[in-house]
Amino acid sequence: MSQQLRVLPGEFVVEHLGEGAPPPDGGWLSLVRAPEGLTVVRPSRPGEGPGAERWSALYGGDTAHAVDVPGMLAALLAPLAAAGVPVFVASTFHADVVLVPAGSVAAARTVLRAAGHTVV
């Protein structure tokens, strides 16, 4: 299942806010509320502490798919896992956002292209 992905501009931070926490003000890429709390993917901020891991986002919205199409996410994650590239995923109704550590985005591009995907 060949897909076209694009690297979204900027870098992102993944945060966990406790149960009942309100969504943060300002920009964010993804919010997911689960029983244990709220997970937020948001743009990194200048001067953010060294403990904040930066992520790059690969978005597959250019080859959007219905929610019941099997294997779309696996087609992206399997080659990345085989190459040892960590991921964090936020899925939308039409596509997936695959985040990789910012320092691994070049490797992720190479791995995904070798697996038959297009990365722009």
User: What separation in angstroms does the CA of 60 have from each of 49, 74, 88, 107?
Assistant: 30, 13, 14, 17
What CATH number has the domain bearing residue 62?
3.30.2130.10
Give me the chain's average pLDDT, please. 89
Number of domains in the chain: 1
CB atoms under 10 Å from CB of 17, counted, come to 15
Q: Quick one: pLDDT at residue 114? A: 97
Q: Are 3 and 19 spatial neighbours (Cβ–Cβ below 8 Å)?
A: no
Average of per-residue pLDDT across 74-82 = 96
**Residue 6 pLDDT > 90:** yes
Is residue 72's pLDDT more than 90?
Answer: no
Give the other-Cβ count within 10 Å of 11's Cβ.
Answer: 19
Q: For the chain, how long is the longest CA-to-CA vector? A: 43
Q: What is the pLDDT of residue 42?
A: 92
Domain region containing 30: 4-119
